[in-house]
Amino acid sequence: MTPHPDHGDELATLYRARFEGADEDRVRVWRILVERVFQAYVPADGSVLDVGCGWGEFINAVGAKRRCAIDLNPDARARLAPAVEFFRQSCADPWPLPDASLDAVFTSNFLEHLPTKDLVVATVEQAVRCLKPGGRMICMGPNIRLVPGAYWDFFDHHVPLSERSLGECLQSRGLKIERSVARFLPYTMSGRKPPASNLIRAYLAMPFAWPLFGRQFLVVARRP
């Protein structure tokens, strides 16, 4: 899939409209999420790729020997740490990485932006190809079952996903589901100031509170 030459600029415009001015808050929140949740899935001496990295809040915060990122957004490179390898391309095209070279593939609030389910499948297939045996794909995103109307308030949301439908997709490509959480984080932080750091840490430490506020799923799948 070769992207339209204007698509990257359009994506950059949408991203700036949603998140400009919230940079420091987003970086703060993602540092906590990585520390308290996601770092456990990424070996410090391993390799990780962030699919749809946006402005790099996850990949800049996570600890790994090799860090890679894919995005069409032309603004991404300037936002990434110097050590992060950046591939500006469609995630559905072959990734410039060898087979079985990654310990983890991460994606957050991205797969629903792909235009078709076929592109979601192609992206998952690239992840499966590049993951080492035992490597994990970690996916987070808005749960269509929990935000059916608000899901479509974003112009570039195309594919409706839940933890169940995405889990089926991952399993159909040979991955084994290790963790599936229907209600993980609140739906979105765009357009408002995120909670204080101590409240975020407290929320993550109390899974019994997630069903009250969680509208995003978390799915972790492992390559056998």
For strands 176-181 and 216-222, give the pairing. Answer: antiparallel
Which pair of structure tokens corresponds to residue 165? 């439908």
Domain boundaries, the chain: 7-222
Q: From 53, 57, 41, 59, select the one nearest 138 (Cα to Cα).
A: 41
- Judged by average pLDDT, the poorest of 8-17, 39-48, 51-60, 200-209 is 8-17
**Tokens found for residue 36:** 């308290």
7 has pLDDT over 90:
no
pTM over 0.85: yes
How far the first Cα of the chain sits from its last, in Å, is: 28
**Lowest mean pLDDT across 8-12, 196-200, 202-206:** 8-12
Kindly state the percentage of the chain with pLDDT values over 90: 84
5 pLDDT higher than 50: no
Query: 17 pLDDT band (50/70/90 cuts)?
Result: very low
Contacts 24+ apart (CB under 8 A), 148-156: 150/187, 151/112, 155/14, 156/11, 156/14, 156/113
Write the pLDDT tens digit of every residue in 114-157.
999 999 999 999 999 999 999 999 999 999 999 999 999 999 99
Mean pLDDT of 185-201: 81
pLDDT tier at 2, thresholds 50, 70, 90: very low
Question: What number does CATH give the domain 7-222?
Answer: 3.40.50.150
CA distance 83 to 104: 17
Residues 169 and 112 sit within 8 Å (Cβ to Cβ): no
What's the full length of the chain, in residues? 224
